[in-house]
């Protein structure tokens, strides 16, 4: 099997014991801060500040991009968050510098590097979904990558992910792919980053870029965002185009922004949420929305927030205590807290959802592979043309591809008809959709809620190739199956491992959700930069939660 041939991946040195992310970040801030010898005010910490520095000539896009490339080179051997850097990243940066010098920045992200998950097409590179089977193709830019380029963003690297968006095995290790290996959690290297947007979350948190693109079918943006201490936005289904993204389920798939702050996530969503004639919801807002214009630190005052406690009921006491602290923060900010709220029968969604996903994956991947064949480079091995071909490819290369876990989900999906008109499929998808919609609409209507609030997921588990992932709870399913948007924001820590909180709301309520999340973030100021520790503490200590 080939690797990314000819692409600049000089990942040769594992950080020494003295290396840490926090000190590297301090050096970066010192270098770009105004004042004599870099001894000025606080350094550049946001997209807005980077743009201001570029406009004022204090820093160039080339210098910014080189900084992140150097950081990737130095730290990626330990994190495994990046599959490949883009060969023309510095050329893209030079074009941004020319635009800034001319006083004509091309868009709201001119000169800003972005990590792109490697199931999203970027021209000139394969979009592997973590599988070597897709290496022979060079498809064009996905619609959202075109949006990024038009906004002036620099596509700096492709991020690792859980292979096939974690839809290959029932005992997988999130963050592992054949092409990229295992992504680690930047807060503790023996901990898992969660999936499937593992590299996007880990690399973003570790400072490989100011922004990242993730994708989600059920939890794959919000869960790794929580585990890696960043902000993740799972948009309304159909708000962001899926064209040019390796599919899992078009009934649930969406791309979305990831950032270290709500403001940066809002800025990225403003670029991504353009209407795509080939793939947008019928009720898409259509015109451009500047989501940053809704950010108000007083947004929680008078807001009606329902607390969904049931998912985290089995969490450990330290994690559960974070929910109490978060609810207290909401009250202090003037929210009208309805505590608790119930999402009726939400637990019944799991079975029909998964059965429907099997049909949808077979249908979607077969269609996508036929499309992808137009962009094959003719190398050996040939590009697979169907799910059956992928299964055969994995079997042929089992020593590498199936080294840690199997392909039980692939086999289950292949056993379906893959026909989206099949009555069996329609029954499963219909049941899942009805249950999810009823579950989320009931408390919102009954209590006139602005949002449903919960912990996003449990702290990061130890990466384990024997038993697979150890997820205790997650709260992504209601939004994933109903198509409602959700925003996860860093809040607390257990043994130094991040735990996020989520705001879930009705379709196209992103302006309100981002405003609420922003107000919460500004008041709590909870995020701490990771330090690339070898391991987390054994047991929680007082004050660590």
CATH number at residue 252: 3.90.1300.10
Catalytic-labelled residue, pool 96, 174, 220, 476: 220
What's residue 537's pLDDT?
Answer: 78
214 - beta bridge partners? 256
Count of residues for the chain?
Answer: 545
Task: Encode the chain (545 residues) as per-residue pLDDT tens digits.
Answer: 344 443 333 333 333 334 444 454 554 454 444 332 222 233 456 999 999 999 999 999 999 999 999 999 999 999 999 999 999 999 999 999 999 999 999 999 999 999 999 999 999 999 999 999 999 999 999 999 999 999 999 999 999 999 999 999 999 999 999 999 999 999 999 999 999 999 999 999 999 999 999 999 999 999 999 999 999 999 999 999 999 999 999 999 999 999 999 999 999 999 999 999 999 999 999 999 999 999 999 999 999 999 999 999 999 999 999 999 999 999 999 999 999 999 999 999 999 999 999 999 999 999 999 999 999 988 777 899 999 999 999 999 999 999 999 999 999 999 999 999 999 999 999 999 999 999 999 999 999 999 999 999 999 999 999 999 999 999 999 999 999 999 999 999 999 999 999 999 999 999 999 999 999 999 999 999 999 999 997 555 444 45
Place of tokens 């963003």: 153
120 - beta bridge partners? 245
Q: Which pTM was predicted?
A: 0.93
Helices marked H in 376-471 — which ranges?
Answer: 387-396, 398-401, 408-414, 423-447
**Residue closest to 494 by CA, chosen among 329, 316, 230, 325:** 316
What's residue 441's pLDDT?
Answer: 98
Q: Within a domain: residue 109?
A: yes
- Active site annotation includes 220: yes
Q: Is 108 helix (H, G, I), strand (E, B) or coil?
A: coil
> In terms of DSSP bridges, do strands 451-455 and 497-504 run parallel, antiparallel, or are they unpaired?
antiparallel
Q: Within a domain: residue 145?
A: yes
Q: Within a domain: residue 89?
A: yes
**Residue closest to 213 by CA, chosen among 282, 167, 163, 272:** 272
Q: Within a domain: residue 364?
A: no
Considering its fold, how many domains does the chain have in total? 1
Q: Within a domain: residue 121?
A: yes
Which residue range is the domain that position 70 belongs to?
21-34+41-277+285-349+429-524
What's residue 85's pLDDT?
Answer: 98
Contact present, 319 and 499 (Cβ < 8 Å)? yes
Q: Within a domain: residue 210?
A: yes
CA distances from residue 295 to 377, 407, 486, 521 in whole angstroms, order as listed: 46, 44, 16, 11
Catalytic-labelled residue, pool 96, 117, 172, 249: 117
Catalytic-labelled residue, pool 169, 174, 196, 261: 196
Beginning with the edge strand found earlier in the chain, give each strand of the sheet holding 113-117 in spatial order: 82-85, 154-159, 113-117, 211-216, 254-259, 231-234, 486-494, 497-504, 451-455, 304-307, 336-338
- Active site annotation includes 509: no
Q: Within a domain: residue 400?
A: no
The tally of CA atoms less than 13 A away on the side-chain side of residue 520 is 31
């Amino acid at each position: 099997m080939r690797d990314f041939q000819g692409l600049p991946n000089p990942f040769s040195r594992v950080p020494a014991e003295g290396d840490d992310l926090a000190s590297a970040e301090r050096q970066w801030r010192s270098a770009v801060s105004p004042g004599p010898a870099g001894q000025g005010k606080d350094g550049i910490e946001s997209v807005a500040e980077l743009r201001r520095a570029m406009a004022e000539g204090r820093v160039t896009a080339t210098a910014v991009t080189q900084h992140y490339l150097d950081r990737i080179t130095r730290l990626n051997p330990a994190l495994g968050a990046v599959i490949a850097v883009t060969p023309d990243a510095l050329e893209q940066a030079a074009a941004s510098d020319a635009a800034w010098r001319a006083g004509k920045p091309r868009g709201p992200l001119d000169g800003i590097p972005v990590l792109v998950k490697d199931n999203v097409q970027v021209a000139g590179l394969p979009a592997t979904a973590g599988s070597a089977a897709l290496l022979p193709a060079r498809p064009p830019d996905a619609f959202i990558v075109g949006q990024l380029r038009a906004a002036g963003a620099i596509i700096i690297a492709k991020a690792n992910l859980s292979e096939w968006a974690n839809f290959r095995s029932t005992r997988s290790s999130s963050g592992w792919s054949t092409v990229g290996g295992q992504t680690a959690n930047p807060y503790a290297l023996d901990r898992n980053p969660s999936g499937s947007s593992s590299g996007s979350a880990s690399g973003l948190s570790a400072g490989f870029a100011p922004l990242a693109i993730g994708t989600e079918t059920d939890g794959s943006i919000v869960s790794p965002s929580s585990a890696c201490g960043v902000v993740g936005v799972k948009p309304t289904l159909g708000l962001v185009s899926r064209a040019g993204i390796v599919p899992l389920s078009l009934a649930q798939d969406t791309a979305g922004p990831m950032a270290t702050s709500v403001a940066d996530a809002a800025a990225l969503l403003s670029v991504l949420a353009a209407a795509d004639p080939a793939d947008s919801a019928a009720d898409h807002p259509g015109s451009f929305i500047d989501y940053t214009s809704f950010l108000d630190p007083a947004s929680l005052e008078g807001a009606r927030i329902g607390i969904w406690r049931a998912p985290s009921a089995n969490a450990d006491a330290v994690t559960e205590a974070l929910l109490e602290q978060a609810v207290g923060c909401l009250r202090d900010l003037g929210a009208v807290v309805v505590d608790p709220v119930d999402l009726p029968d939400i637990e019944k969604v799991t079975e029909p959802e998964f059965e429907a996903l099997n049909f949808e994956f077979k249908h979607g991947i077969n269609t996508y592979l036929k499309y992808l064949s137009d962009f094959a480079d003719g190398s050996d091995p040939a590009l697979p043309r169907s799910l059956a071909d992928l299964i055969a490819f994995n079997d042929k290369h089992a020593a590498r591809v199936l080294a840690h876990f199997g392909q039980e989900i692939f086999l289950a999906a292949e056993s379906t008809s893959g026909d989206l008109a099949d009555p069996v499929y329609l029954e499963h998808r219909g049941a899942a959709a009805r249950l999810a919609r009823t579950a989320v609409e009931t408390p919102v209507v009954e209590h006139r809620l602005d949002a449903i609030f919960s912990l996003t997921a449990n702290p990061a588990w130890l990466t384990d190739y024997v038993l697979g992932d150890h997820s205790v709870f997650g709260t992504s399913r209601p939004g994933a199956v109903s198509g409602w948007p959700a925003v996860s924001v860093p809040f607390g820590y257990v043994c130094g491992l991040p735990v996020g909180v989520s705001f879930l709301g009705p379709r196209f309520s992103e302006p309100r959700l981002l405003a609420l999340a922003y107000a919460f973030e500004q008041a709590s100021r909870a995020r701490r930069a990771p330090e690339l520790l070898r391991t987390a503490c054994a047991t929680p200590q007082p004050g660590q939660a």
